[in-house]
Structure 1
Amino acid sequence: MTASSTPPVAPLADIDWVEIPGGDYIYQDGKRRTLPTFHMARHPITNVRYQAFIDASGYDDERWWQGIERPQPQESRWPQATRPCISVNWYEAVAFCRWLSEQLGYTVRLPTEEEWERAARGRDGRAFPWGDDYHTGYANINETWDNAGECKLEQTTIVGAYPQGASTEGVLDLAGNVCEWCLNKHAHPEEIEPDASGDARVLRGGSWYGSPDAVRCAERNWNSPGERVDNAGFRLVSSGPIR
């Protein structure tokens, strides 16, 4: 991703939102929790959407970076428009959400890991978005790790390329392709506010690099908020009214 004099065609208001109904659900090892209704984007943020932030001088506007570190944008390893945005750290994901909230006129943000897990596991706490057993070809992962299959692309794919891997509400790419940043600190998941402490933040969902076990919906991973890797991206949620 690089600065560009001509912004790409990336309508910001056409995010495909999926309503995740509120109520009880199973979290982690069988704990019952409750969440209100929220909306989650059907797909992770793509390169073309993130490029709109860069083209709008998002890295130069201090409003989006208050209280967090501000790096310089980094070129994506796979820059195709509809592949998920990668090589974006947690701070950049937060800044993008702040910017996009102003463009849309309502608040969007990273999911909490409770929201992420509810969307991925449904109400019944399934192991994968589609059920309790891994099925070959249902996600962009490295199936050869556990002899689960022969799929091993070793790169991202366009978002939505695995419709058979949808969650109960129809959210896509929640297993494999890219790990997804959540708001929570890994060691203190009750802490979700942005800061520049450097404390590790949660990643969920596994990636193109992972094995079937690594992409289970309940698997908690983490990274430094300032770290950029080519198998991590992010998606949006909104707990307010969608306009």
Structure 2
Amino acid sequence: MNSPPKRRIIIHREKRRTTYFSEPLSDEVGLDMVQIPGGTFLMGAPEDELHNRKSEQPQHSVTVPSFFMGRYPITQTQWHLVVGYPEVKRELKPDPSEFKGENRPVEQVSWQDAVEFCQRLSVKTSRSYRLPSEAEWEYACRAGTQTPFHFGETLTDELANYNATKVYGRGVKGQSRGKTTEVGQFPPNNFGLHDMHGNVWEWCQDDWHRNYKGAPEDGSAWVDDDSKNNQKVLRGGSWFNYPRGCRCAIRFNDTRGGFLSGGFRVVCVPVVAGRVPRAMDSS
């Protein structure tokens, strides 16, 4: 008896030219930073999006200035190199990740460690590196789309590293790899960014808020004056999350001190002390 054919899932994929610069971390290793054009988008999930949460609402318009963002989450090789830079405020573990691999994303990194990484990188390069604001992260993830995933209405295990044993919408079941995968293994979004869905959760600058009531509309980080708020925002889902936990709008929170599958990618402002990154084009 013949088995029924797999249902075809139509995913939106579009090839675009990206502009980036590569920050040298050593003679052999660089950090690719993709230019994200400025624009206005609707942040958060609409009320009719499948598996939406109250923390993702109200959906609101945000205008984001242009910035540069890491093409991939920070890898273990990049982490090892920057750990060797002079300390700014705190020590960093040279090898915190559970799933070892030079090109796998670094994980088990606290928000405080991610900030220290950015500070060391900034001092070394004389550029301003930092974590993305939550608005910058979602804007970069969506890359001009408003669907639950930047690929379209659903996700497959050929497009991202997540727990595909459950489906989203009209998707199909797939595998759960049970670990992180090397960065860049899956197709990029329209801005040229890889691994925005799944693989590792990514830290943002923002303090955690239960919803978007009162959120900034200029793309800046939402940080409270009250230092008692110890909760920070993570975005994007990870290797162990079902697809509903990897949507563009998904938000999670944890203390500054750590999160087991926490990773991050960095943002760079275009100009610091008169230094303009020399951008290159790639298709």
- Tell me the TM-score normalised to structure 2 length: 0.72
Q: 1:51 to 1:175 in 2, by over 3 A?
A: same
**Is the 1:90–1:226 Cα contact (8 Å) retained in structure 2?**
yes
Q: 1:46 aligns with which of 56, 62, 75?
A: 75
| Contact persistence 1:142–1:210 (CA under 8 A) | yes
Q: CA deviation at 1:131?
A: 1.9
How far residue 225 of structure 1 moved from its aligned partner, in angstroms, is 0.8
Say if 1:110 and 1:193 are closer, same or farther in 2 by CA, change over 3 A. farther
1:145-200 Cα shifts (integer Å, max 9, x gaps): 3484222110001101112xx22111000000000000001127654389974611
Deviates more, 1:105-114 or 1:144-153: 144-153
TM-fit CA distance, 1:39: 1.0
For 1:6, the equivalent position in structure 2 comes to none
How many angstroms apart in 2 are the aligned matches of 1:193 and 1:81?
A: 36
Superposition deviation, residue 71 in structure 1: 6.0
Aligned to 2:186: 162
- How many residues of Structure 1 are paired with residues of Structure 2 in the alignment? 223
Change (3 A) 1:196 1:161: farther
Contact 1:18 1:40 in 2 (8 A): yes
Structure that is richer in helix per residue: 1
Partner of 1:138: 159
Is it true that 1:149 corresponds to 2:173 in the alignment? yes
Residue of 246, 252, 255 corresponding to 1:215: 246
Matched to 2:240, the amino acid is Y
Choose 32-41 or 140-149, whichever is displaced more.
140-149
Q: Is the 8 A contact 1:13 1:104 kept in 2?
A: no
Rg larger in 1 or in 2? 2
Corresponding position of 2:194:
172
4+ residue runs over 6 A deviation = 193-196
Aligned mate of 2:104, from 77, 83, 91: 83
Q: Secondary structure at the match of 1:207?
A: coil
Can you give the 5+ residue segments of structure 2 that lack an aligned partner in the other structure?
1-24, 46-58, 216-220, 278-283
Pick from 25, 31, 38 the counterpart of residue 41 of structure 2.
25
User: Which of 231, 238, 241 is the matching residue for 1:200?
Assistant: 231
Please give the alpha-carbon distance, in whole angstroms, between the structure 2 residues aligned to 1:14 and 1:53: 11
C-alpha RMSD over aligned residues: 2.5
Q: Pick the aligned partner of 2:137 from 116, 119, 123.
A: 116
Identical positions, percent: 32
Query: SS in structure 2 opposite 1:202?
Result: strand
When you count strand as a share of all residues, which structure comes out higher? 2
Structure 2 counterpart of 1:32, which letter? S
> Which deviates the most, 125-134 or 171-180?
125-134
Provide the C-alpha distance between the structure 2 equivalents of 1:195 and 1:32, rounded to a whole number of angstroms: 26
Task: Pick closer, same or farther for the CA change 1:199–1:19 going to 2, 3 Å.
Answer: same
Residues 46 and 144 (structure 1), Cα distance of their counterparts in 2 relative to 1, 3 Å cut:
same
Cα separation, 2, equivalents of 1:98 and 1:25 = 29
Q: TM-score normalised to the size of structure 1?
A: 0.83
Q: Distance in 2 between matches of 1:83 and 1:215?
A: 18
